[in-house]
Chain A
Amino acid sequence: DIQLTQSPSFLSASIGDRVTITCRASQGISSSLAWYQQKPGKAPNLLIYAASTLQSGVPSRFSGSGSGTDFTLTMSSLQPEDFATYYCQQLTTYPYTFGQGTRLEIK
């Protein structure tokens, strides 16, 4: 199975900060990576697919990059509604594994 390792697992940041989360795959996955945001008690919400394509309706402060084994999710200027848990997921090989999550909290 392809392992996805997110770093950091926990992040404390302030409104307006620029934040980057990294997702590293145990083997190459081309650009078959998605990013999700999940708030407590809610279903995940797709932010980015194909590593860098912004899902319709997602604010432009979110961006994704990378290919192969190393990927990043960047939030250019944190807003109050961005404090949540973020997951990456690879969709190149079954099982479609998720990263362990990055919890983003307000400093």
Chain B
Amino acid sequence: QVQLVESGGGVVQPGRSLRLSCAASGFTLSSYGMHWVRQAPGKGLEWVVSISYDGSNKYYADSVKGRFTISRDNSKNTLDLQMNSLRVEDMAVYYCAKDIAVSPPYYGMDVWGQGTTVTVSS
């Protein structure tokens, strides 16, 4: 069964770091582009970052550029999001999602994880 499972969320103080992970099963991660999307409490969806099948192309939202880093280990079927210098406005449920396509142009996110919650509070 095709599945994504996120982990690593938690409560963190502003300015600190957190690393999210996403484990893929039921499909070959190396065959698809991947994304992270977040949703602040009571708000809509916000695209955060995309990475191509081989990790050679990465694109970040301006709101996280320079603070977040996406990476993938296709041999382990995992996707990571390193989040540094966290801000209160980064507080959200973070979803990893698989794209239909291998690399840009992307078409849409057809498999999503259940989400992991990041709370940024002092």
A32 contacts chain B at the CB level, 8 A cutoff: yes
B109 interface neighbour in A44, A48, A97, A101, Cβ under 8 Å: A44
Q: Tell me the interface secondary structure of chain A in the complex.
A: loop
- On chain A, the number of residues with a Cβ less than 8 Å from chain B's Cβ atoms is 24
- On chain B, the number of residues with a Cβ less than 8 Å from chain A's Cβ atoms is 23
Question: Distance in Å from the Cβ of A6 to the closest Cβ of chain B?
Answer: 10
A25 to B106, CA, bound (A): 17
Decide: A43 and B95 in contact? CB cutoff 8 A. yes
B residues 69-122 with Cβ under 8 Å of A? 95, 97, 100, 105-110, 112-115
A residues near B (Cβ < 8 Å) are 32, 34, 36, 38, 43-46, 48-50, 55, 87, 89, 91-92, 94-101
B residues near A (Cβ < 8 Å) are 35, 37, 44-47, 50, 59, 61-62, 95, 97, 100, 105-110, 112-115
